[in-house]
Amino acid sequence: MNTANLQLEGLLLAMAELNRTLVAKGLLAADEIEAALHRAEASATAEERMSQDLSPANRDAVCFPIRLLRLANASPQGELSFSILTRDVGASKAPYNDQR
């Protein structure tokens, strides 16, 4: 596996755990984190280059970290599993408007 992928895996798991800590300490609610991540994904997919310049696989690559963090935010407390989260990201992905 590419070293950069491993670094991103670690970074995403760290961010997911930080989000959980923010919720546990009462600094943010899980729905506030969900709303922020939803806005981030909407902003990323609304960019013109997303539909014109990027393949569906590249669009998924841009949205993958946001989607993974959204799923981690919605998952019950306990150990985060990167492999389970990535599987769930793939299973929950809907086609883009230009793929129908």
Tally of structural domains, the chain: 1
pTM: 0.82
Q: Is residue 97 part of a domain?
A: no
Q: Does any domain span residue 56? A: yes
Is residue 98, in this structure, part of any structural domain at all?
no
What token pair was written down for 88?
């769930």
Residue 80 lies in a domain: yes
Domain coverage including residue 26: 3-92
What span, in angstroms and rounded, lies between the C-alpha atoms of 31 and 35?
6
Span 11-65, pLDDT tens digits: 999 999 999 999 999 999 999 999 999 999 998 888 777 777 888 888 888 899 9
> CA 42 from chain center: how many Å?
12
Gap between the Cα atoms of 58 and 71, Å rounded: 20
Residue 100 within a domain = no
Is 10 inside any structural domain?
yes
Confirm whether 41 is domain-assigned.
yes
- Greatest pairwise CA separation for the chain in angstroms: 43
